[in-house]
Amino acid sequence: MNYKQVVFLATVCLFGVVLMMSNHSVFAAESYKGPLDLTATKDGTKIYIAYFDAHEIAVLNTADDKVIQTIPVGKEPTGITLSTDEKTLYVTSGGYRGLVQAVDLATGKVVREVAAGHTPLGAAVTPDGKKIFVCNRFNNDVSEYDLPELKLVRRIKVIREPRGAVVTNDGKTVYVSNAVPNDVANIPENPDALIDVAAEITAIDVASGTTKNIRLPNGSGSIHGICISPDGRYVYLTEILARFQMPTTQLERGWMNTNGISIIDTTQLANNRAGFVNTVLIDDVDLGAANPWGITTSVDGKQIFIAVAGTSELIIVDADAMHKKLASLPQDDPDTATGYAGGSSASAKASDVPNDLAFLVGMKKRVRLDGKGARPVAAIGNKVYVGMYYSDTLQKVDLTAAGNLKGTEIALGAKPELTKERRGEIHWNDATLCFQYWQSCASCHPDGRMDAYNWDLLNDGLGNPKNAKSLLWCDKCPPAMWEGVRETSARCTRTGFQFILFSMPDETKCQDIDAYVHAMQPVPSPYLVDGKLSEKAGRGKKIFENPKVGCVQCHPAPLFTDQKLHDVNTKCYYDRKGSFDTPTLVETWRTAPYLHDGRYVNMKDLFKKGKHGDVEGDIESLTDEQLDDLVEYILSL
């Protein structure tokens, strides 16, 4: 079924250096803790907590649930993991100039630190304790270090925005989650093409450093959590499964976004699907579980625990029952799954599962938690601890408690006094403001950026999907939306509640969100060298500023947009008109795919194949080397 048929059937954002991470607040203050990651000792007596906003590691004594020690680490800790002998805690920290730090737990001191890539996180130690792998989110690679020296061995290229890693029990393979799809979102020359936009998992062979990619179902993205079962057989990942093929006319039954976990069988890496098992939804038929984040298992692997950030919940899945049901289904090709909204009908074959909102009925429990921002999760025996990022608390769930399970609050400090911007960030990530809790603003605009999909929104008519825009500086660069149909970003916020979240906008909350959006600042580009333009980018800057080339005609500094609509010959079969808003070029290094319909994954193709810029200037006269210089400059903004 092509998009036109689907539409017919369904008719009914000064460059700054303030860092913004995928999993933290850009509005950090001394009063905030920001529990971002948890890791427990094997005996369960202690939990180490990464306080992103406080730049500390806290040590929680689980006997009385009291913080007994804090360890300053100097920068924002994005993740923590223990050495195999549990004498050292490895901390990933910082942003553009990232670090890996080794903390001696006997002294509580940082005893060693080495440079990492741009925004390191998601570290994993091999079972023999001899290596640690660290994801460099914005370099799109993984650093391998020898332990205990933290000596860099190599950097291994992955796909896009790696956020987490796990190592198999035999130490032979590292599985890395690439959080964001890296695909073309439209093929203008083929209106009947099936558009497949999905994140992938990279399996790294530890011995050779070679990689193999495992593609997830169409619409998979925003992957935050990754864990491996205790027996080492299964890798579990949390994700959003976007139904971007559908016009956004409703939310019922996961019409726009559903939420789930993907499963990889590590014993099947060599098969044609590289061990991909399936993607299982954790929503209910009439109640979403938006923005799943952290994930872990019980010690025996019989239960899977998922922290759901958007709805502030803990979801508990019976792993044995889930795998038994999956194994009972005929194993057809998962590529045949449509990715369309499913409903409550039972799965007849394996490819039905990603669309089956009732698949886990009788196999999962939902535990509502007090506080906001359920992100990291750790399990100790019959207790599950969830970090509530925005509330500066932990929630402890006793699985043996009688009756309905509930959380017990563990305060990590004084109740934080929220700024207007912080409140706005909370609302941005809060799916309980949405009808039936299916999504939040962050579902399509994580960190206020983009999810890489084309969405057919109601603001400019049906049947003309457009790529989700980054909202960085959107309040400084009106009008808003690709066709400029909203005069301000503030107006977009209010209409977004009405026509995307399908709920009535609360003006106070909208004003908070306006403050959050206004406070967003660019992340320094990974193309910079010591914070400055490279020699190559310097040459590109001269080309960019050459009036004959014409880039500055539409993209003048400092905003790098003239805030006007232009027809640059990009109209495709979906479009009713050819003039589109000129986006700022700041942070384009992280906003692919490019153009209003996302037809180019890399910027050189935008110029060479798309001949972008020929309307206002002379791009075609540039050599390949000059084009490379120009691209380097733009990607450095």
With 0-12 / 13-18 / 19 or more C-beta atoms within 10 angstroms meaning exposed / middle / buried, residue 365 is middle
- Cα distances from 144 to residues 113, 157, 175, in angstroms, run 14, 11, 13
With 0-12 / 13-18 / 19 or more C-beta atoms within 10 angstroms meaning exposed / middle / buried, residue 602 is middle
Angle at 377 between CA 373 and CA 383, to 5 degrees: 120
Closest CA to 247 of 594, 574, 599, 469: 574
What is the pLDDT, as a whole number, of residue 337? Answer: 47
Phi-psi region of 554 (alpha: psi -120 to 50; beta: other; left: phi over 0): alpha
In the numeric block, the tokens 């049947």 are attached to: 463
Closest CA to 471 of 587, 358, 571: 587
Q: Quick check: helix, strand or coil at residue 47?
A: strand
Contact 588, 635 (CB under 8 A): yes
Task: Write out residues in the chain with pLDDT < 50, as ranges.
Answer: 1, 3-24, 26-29, 336-342
The span from the first CA to the last CA of the chain, in angstroms, equals: 40
> How many other CB atoms are there within 10 angstroms of residue 86's CB atom?
14
What is the pLDDT, as a whole number, of residue 11? Answer: 39
Distance CA 155, CA 153 (A): 7
Domains of the chain: 3-15+424-519 (1.10.760.10), 535-634 (1.10.760.10)
In the numeric block, the tokens 């084009």 are attached to: 627
Closest CA to 65 of 411, 503, 479, 495: 411
CA atoms within 13 A on the CB side of 566: 18
What is the pLDDT, as a whole number, of residue 14? Answer: 32
What's the pLDDT tens digit per position in 4-63? 444 434 433 333 333 333 334 544 445 899 999 999 999 999 999 999 999 999 999 999
Distance CA 252, CA 302 (A): 31
Sign of the torsion angle spanned by Cα atoms 554, 560, 564, 567? positive
What is the pLDDT, as a whole number, of residue 619? Answer: 87
Helices 507-519 and 420-428 cross at an angle (nearest 10°) of 100
Alpha helices in 86-154 (DSSP H): none
- Take residue 26 and report the two structure tokens written for it: 């850009």
Q: Quick check: helix, strand or coil at residue 133?
A: strand
- Take residue 47 and report the two structure tokens written for it: 């939990």
Between the CA atoms of 160, 162, 163 and 168, what dihedral angle is there, to the nearest 10 degrees?
140
- Take residue 576 and report the two structure tokens written for it: 């009713």
Contact 199, 214 (CB under 8 A): no
Distance CA 444, CA 437 (A): 14
Average pLDDT, the chain: 92
